[in-house]
Amino acid sequence: MSMTRWDPWGEMVSLRDAMDRLLSESFIRPRGGETSGTTGSLAVDVREMGDNFVITAPIPGMSPDDIEITVLGDAIRIRGERREKREEGGEGHRWLVREQRFGAFERTVRLPAPVKADAANAEFKDGMLTISLPKTEEAKERRIAVQGSQHAGKSEDVLIEASSGGRTEPRRESIPANAESS
């Protein structure tokens, strides 16, 4: 039986190899269109504008009929499929650079509050999808008026006991005379 000397540094991946692998796996996605079975993502911007949420997404080269939007509670899903136009070329035709993506895409965005799906509005103009979703009545911000009391400005001293680390320390605080004790 022969013995082989183990070199711990021989199995380490160089930093350059690790970074190359990380970047290629993160940013370069395989292309294959409809046959790959992968679903692409969609970049969106979400804004809160008063009583509405407004979502914008660039979807160039598509028609409104190819886009499906669904809303359930506080989540909105946008999906569609960008079909590749097959160009038959003759002898000597080949792609030099091909960066456009084709195939299905889908994006689900959870909003901070529920929306009224039946009052939503979607517009598609110049390759930009804009969706306006009104908030439900429960989700709208409300202002609550603060009522003053007849004894405004008057206070009384109350003894409060606070415990810390097993010790109880009495202290005096000034609170409004009509405040409820808890």
Residues 6+ apart with CB under 8 A from 111: 46, 53, 74, 75, 76, 133
Structurally, at CATH architecture level, domain 31-85+102-139 sits in Sandwich (2.60)
Mean pLDDT for back-to-back runs of 10 residues, the chain (182 residues): 70 70 59 46 90 92 89 89 73 77 87 90 93 86 78 58 54 56 48
pLDDT reported for residue 6:
72
Rounded alpha-carbon distances, angstroms, from residue 159 to 152, 165, 174: 21, 20, 9
Q: What is the pLDDT of residue 159?
A: 59
Query: Which residues contact residue 61 at a Cβ distance below 8 angstroms, ignoring those fewer than 6 apart?
Result: 82, 127
* Matching residue, tokens 């009224």: 116
Q: In what order do the strands lie in the sheet with 128-134?
A: 45-49, 52-58, 128-134, 121-125
In this prediction, residue 38 carries a pLDDT of 47
| pLDDT score at 169 | 58
**H helix or E strand, kind and range, residue 171:** strand 167-176
Q: Residue 14: exposed, middle, or buried by beta-carbon count in 10 A (0-12, 13-18, 19+)?
A: exposed
Q: Closest Cα partner for 106 from 71, 72, 67, 73?
A: 67
